[in-house]
Amino acid sequence: MSKKIIFAVGLSLLAIAGCDSDTTTEPNDANAAEQQEKKPPAKNIITVAIPESAVNVDFPKGWYENPDEYPYDLQYFSKNQRMNTGVFLYDTGDFAAEIDADAILALQIEDLESKRDNFEEIQAVTKTELDDKTVTTAVFSGEKDSSRFYYKFAVIEFIENPDQLAVTLQVAIPSEWDKSKPVLEAITESMVIAAVPETETPTEDTGE
């Protein structure tokens, strides 16, 4: 990600702390009667390649990219706009040696806390060890513009490529959390380093 390589190690903390800024997109709470999406079966997903990276992520069918300008490497909305996922990708070499997944997560949380009212922990920090990645997660609630939202923070470390790090911020509506949570978890856990297609060695023309 060329746009992120420009900041020096000394600015890395500021870059991470600014992940949300004031541009977090809260879900549309206007259609409270609209049914919340359930965790989709594998056949009802779309695989999206994050621009300028080797990372792919799966979204439920019907999710779509934010049509407006956004600060993330990728941001997608649910079909009914009641959930969204923003993804930043970083090269770990841009961070100071002491900055690990827990530190990055803490900086994200601290930054958003400064921009929301009544910010409270809903789920303490947890680590999920998968075959190809480690996902560090925490969930908080906060209020903005007289509405309350749940904010799911996650840092994804790829075993196959430890130089690549994904940071996500996912937003959902509290009353629908039981249905939203597995959908959002499936999105973060779907992130993979895309396989590079093998190139065939051209057959030499011997003229025979």
Axis-axis angle for helices 9-17, 101-113 (nearest 10): 50
* Residue 190 pLDDT greater than 90, yes or no: yes
Tell me the per-residue pLDDT of 147-164, one tens digit each, with 9 for 90 and over. 999 999 999 999 999 999
**Closest to 147 in 3D by CA, of 56, 64, 27, 53:** 27
* pLDDT score of 187 more than 80: yes
Return the CA Rg of the chain: 19
pLDDT tens for each residue of 84-128: 999 999 998 898 988 899 999 999 999 999 999 999 999 999 999
Domain boundaries, the chain: 2-21+48-193
Length of the chain: 208
Alpha helices in 6-128, H assignment, sequence order: 9-17, 101-113
Q: Which of these CATH numbers, 2.40.160.60, 3.40.1000.10, 3.30.420.40, 3.30.390.50, describes 2-21+48-193?
A: 3.40.1000.10
C-alpha closest to that of 50 among 153, 166, 129, 180: 166
